[in-house]
Every structure is written in C-alpha cells, then in structure tokens.
C-alpha cells in the first residue's frame, strides 16, 4: 500500500512538532511549511527521509496554491491538510481596530484558507481527503473571548469555513474538522502564566493524537466534527 501524504503548516512550532512526529509514526509522507527566514537550530528538517520542509508564507494565496499543486504533482494525491499556523493577541472591544483585527485574520484565517482552498479542490477531484483546522474556545463561543476579541473573531471564521467545506465536500468524501484545544502546554504559555497548574493543560501530543484520529478511516466517518481537547483546563 502506498504511503499517505499530508501537508502540515507551521510544522516546527510546539504543536507542529508533535503532529509531525505522530504522522511520521503513522508512515505518512509529509510536506511541512516553515516560517520564512526563521532559523531552526536542531535537526528538525533531517528527522526522516519522508519529511520535506518548505519555507512559505502561508498567508500568500498564490504561493500557497502553487505549493499545494507542487505537492500533488510530486506525490500523486493529498490525503490530509493540517493547518496549524496561527497567532494570539489579547484585546477588548475598546481595543478593536481594523489594523488589529486584520493582523489576527491574516494569522488565523487567511493562513488556513490559503492552503485549505486549493487542497479542497484536489480532494474533491480525488474523491477523498481531510481538512483539519485549529479553533479556540474564544472562537467557538464568543462570550468566552471578551479578553481577546480580535483573536476570537478570527478563530470563529474557521468553524464557518469548515461548515462550508463540508456542505460541498462530504458527498465527495472530503471531511473538514476543527480541533478546539484549551491552554496548550508550551514553553511560551508557561512563561506567560507561571502560577498556573501546568498538569491541567492539554499537551501537544494529545492534540496530535486527536488529529490523527480525525485523519483515520474511523474519523472520516464523522461529519461536522468539532473535537474539544480541553484535558482539565
């Protein structure tokens, strides 16, 4: 049986590394995007012959579409696209401006759309595939996002985008799902909340397991899936 192929954006981040590791264990071929001009000091790029790394601004629509096209030409198909690029900023309604929300839209929505749209067209043509988005509590229920209005608004669009992909794609075997984590246990979050109980937070490996399930045959039977990966937080 030939290997499955997946695109993972933001693969060198804390969550990205856990997802890359999990999918390499599942014997996928991976095309992983890295933020341009950011130095990676360890051997991330060389951990497997089935891992290909590309520096790409995933908010650039044209470059992202060409990247997806290149991956499909090289490997013949695309089984999963996992959009992990994102960013956070606090801010109330009083802080809301066009500039601040545009920044969050670029990081959290445009970065997903630019990859997901061309991937979706490929998956429809091949009659199958998985699109995975990373949501947020602040976007799932905006009443929980008053501390980060721009962030919550930008993340909320991912749920609507997944619904639209499913409305058109489910009949062709294309399934879009959203993972909603609570606080992810990363060095940056520990530094910003040093008095928190880190044991309550969700580990990147837990999220990676959930993403792997959604990309499995069993996970593909789900429809309009939103997985809340909260652990104890």
Q: Would you say residue 198 has pLDDT above 90?
A: no
Give tens-digit pLDDT for 18-43: 999 999 999 999 999 999 988 887 78
pLDDT of residue 126: 96
Q: How far is CA 226 from the centre of its chain?
A: 13
Percent of the chain with pLDDT over 70: 99
Q: Would you say residue 103 has pLDDT above 90?
A: yes
Locate all alpha helices (DSSP H) within the chain, ordered by sequence.
14-25, 61-75, 98-105, 111-126, 137-140, 149-169, 187-192, 204-214
How far is residue 206 from each of residues 7, 18, 93, measured CA to CA in Å?
19, 9, 33
Domain locations along the chain: 5-229
pLDDT of residue 177: 96
pLDDT of residue 75: 94
pLDDT of residue 220: 83
DSSP state of 2: P
pLDDT of residue 186: 87
Mean pLDDT of 74-95: 95
Confidence category of residue 196, pLDDT binned at 50, 70, 90: confident
Q: What is the CA radius of gyration of the chain?
A: 17
Q: Would you say residue 195 has pLDDT above 90?
A: no
Mean pLDDT of 113-129: 97
pLDDT of residue 189: 86
Q: How many contiguous H segments (helices) and E segments (strands) does the chain have?
A: 8, 7
Q: What's the whole-number average pLDDT of the chain?
A: 93
Residue for token pair 């499955």: 4
Maximum C-alpha span of the chain: 56
pLDDT of residue 173: 94
CB 85 within 8 A of CB 155: no
Cα 58 to Cα 33: distance, rounded to the nearest angstrom: 8
Give tens-digit pLDDT for 146-169: 999 999 999 999 999 999 999 999
Cα 31 to Cα 17: distance, rounded to the nearest angstrom: 13
Supply the CATH classification number for the domain 5-229.
Answer: 3.40.50.720
Give tens-digit pLDDT for 170-180: 999 999 999 99
pLDDT of residue 1: 53
């Amino acid at each position: 049986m030939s290997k499955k192929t997946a695109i993972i954006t933001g693969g060198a981040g804390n969550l990205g590394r856990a997802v890359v590791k999990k999918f390499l264990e599942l014997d996928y071929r991976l095309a992983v995007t890295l933020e341009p001009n950011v130095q990676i000091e360890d051997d991330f790029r060389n951990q497997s012959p089935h891992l290909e790394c590309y520096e790409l601004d995933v908010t650039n629509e044209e470059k992202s579409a060409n990247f997806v096209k290149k991956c499909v030409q090289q490997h013949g198909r695309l089984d999963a696209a996992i959009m992990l690029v994102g960013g956070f900023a606090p801010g109330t309604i009083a802080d809301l401006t066009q500039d601040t929300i545009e920044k969050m839209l670029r990081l959290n929505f445009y970065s997903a759309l630019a990859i997901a749209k061309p991937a979706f067209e490929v998956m429809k043509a091949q009659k199958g595939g998985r699109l995975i988005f990373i949501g947020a509590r602040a976007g799932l229920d905006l009443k929980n996002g008053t501390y980060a209005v721009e962030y919550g608004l930008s993340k909320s669009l991912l749920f609507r985008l997944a619904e639209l992909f499913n409305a058109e794609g489910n009949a062709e075997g294309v399934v879009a799902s959203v993972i909603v984590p609570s606080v992810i246990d990363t060095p940056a979050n520990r530094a910003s909340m040093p008095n928190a109980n880190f044991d309550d937070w969700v580990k990147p490996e837990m999220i990676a397991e959930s993403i792997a399930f959604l990309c499995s045959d069993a996970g593909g039977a789900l429809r309009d899936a939103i997985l809340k990966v909260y652990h104890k937080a």
